[in-house]
């Protein structure tokens, strides 16, 4: 039986730290308001670094930590909602930055669930023996798509990148995955792309929106809490395990209130949740690999620990992955 397992992690975050008090200059808010409603104290903000550049730095660290030659990588999957170009893909730019040729590289757009989607795809490529060593990255420069005049969203987001190397193994790593989606016709969480504009269009009908994130916070909270509970339950059911068998949960780092609600509903001790949103904020597809790397570096995990990664995001999307920790 062929399995896939994580053999290394790597991250990169910009050096610029923006604390809550700095946002007072932009919107009517304060540290107490932000902290009490989100759990976020500070975030990292790019000072000119592009998405592919921070992704490549996280990838290089993951490769170094894996102790492999970069040429062993036979696929790159990169999750992002903040690409530098529609084409080439961000993954292609990372491929060039790493000096790799002749391997498939592509982006996944699944909002904040992107990294879980990427893991699921990589796991299937390895289990089907089409690939042996895959680089999976979540990378975002959300500061370039944030409306810094909207206090409901600008306090949430940060920039960063996280990466893992997934490798073929006879040892079980990823046990099972679960993903889902529901088209967001109501526009609950959106980031518009290029508006329709051509010489054949009546300009009066061209009302393209601003390319910044907008969110209905109340509706997204209700969606997030419901779907995270469902996603955790799904991988437990698929693996015939219970919460007592799980050592840690790495949730998407969106809002501490969402995490606390899920913990209460599922009767899970808060200590089982890996949380670092207080100093990184919501980094979308980068949030789970950032938290994974931090916990690994702090030696939180032991070989044999069972870990659930769970996320929700714009799309609307959701997903979870259950794995045995083997490092």
Active-site positions read: 112, 252, 282
Answer left, alpha or beta for residue 303, where phi above 0 means left and psi between -120 and 50 means alpha.
beta
- Name residue 166's beta-bridge partners: 6, 134
Give dist(CA 237, CA 242) in Å, integer.
8
- The helix/strand count (H/E) of the chain reads as 9, 13
Give dist(CA 154, CA 145) in Å, integer.
10
Phi, psi (deg, nearest 5) at residue 203? -60, -25
Q: Which of 116, 110, 140 is nearest to 44 (CA)?
A: 140
Cα-based angle 233, 126, 66 (whole degrees, multiple of 5): 95
Tokens of 185: 């016709």
Give dist(CA 141, CA 213) in Å, integer.
12
**Quick check: 252 and 288 in contact, CB under 8 A?**
yes
Angle, helices 51-66 vs 90-98, to 10°: value is: 50
Give dist(CA 47, CA 16) in Å, integer.
7
**DSSP code per residue over 90-145:** HHHHHHHHHT--SS-EEEE--GGGHHHHHHHHHHHHHHTTS-SEEEEEEEEEGGGG
């Amino acid at each position: 039986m062929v399995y896939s397992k994580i053999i290394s992690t790597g991250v990169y975050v910009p050096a610029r730290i923006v604390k809550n008090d700095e946002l007072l200059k932009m919107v009517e808010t304060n540290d107490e308001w932000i902290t009490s409603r989100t759990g976020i104290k500070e975030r990292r903000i790019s000072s000119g670094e592009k998405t592919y550049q921070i992704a490549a730095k996280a990838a290089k660290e993951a490769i170094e930590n894996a102790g492999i030659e970069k040429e062993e990588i036979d696929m790159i999957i990169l999750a992002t909602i903040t690409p530098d170009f529609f084409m080439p893909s961000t993954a292609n730019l990372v491929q060039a930055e790493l000096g790799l040729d002749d391997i498939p590289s592509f982006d996944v757009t699944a909002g904040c669930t992107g990294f879980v989607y990427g893991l699921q795809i990589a796991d299937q490529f390895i289990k089907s023996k089409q690939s042996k060593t895959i680089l999976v990255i979540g990378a975002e420069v959300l500061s370039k798509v944030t409306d810094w005049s909207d206090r409901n969203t600008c306090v949430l987001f940060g920039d960063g990148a996280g990466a893992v190397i997934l490798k073929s193994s006879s040892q079980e790593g990823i046990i099972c995955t679960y993903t889902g989606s529901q088209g967001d016709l109501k526009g609950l969480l959106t980031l518009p792309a290029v508006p329709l504009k051509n010489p054949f269009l009546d300009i009066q009908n061209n009302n393209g929106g601003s390319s910044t994130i907008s969110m209905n916070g109340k509706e997204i909270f209700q969606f997030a809490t419901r779907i995270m509970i469902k996603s955790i339950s799904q991988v437990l059911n698929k693996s015939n395990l219970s919460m007592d068998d799980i050592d840690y949960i790495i949730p998407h780092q969106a809002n501490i209130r969402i995490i606390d609600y899920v913990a209460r509903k599922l009767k899970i001790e808060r200590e089982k949740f890996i949380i670092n949103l207080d100093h990184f904020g919501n980094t979308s597809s980068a949030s789970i690999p950032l938290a994974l790397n931090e916990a690994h570096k702090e030696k939180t995990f032991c070989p044999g620990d069972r870990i659930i990664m769970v996320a929700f995001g714009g799309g609307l999307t959701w997903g979870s992955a259950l794995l045995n920790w083997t490092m």
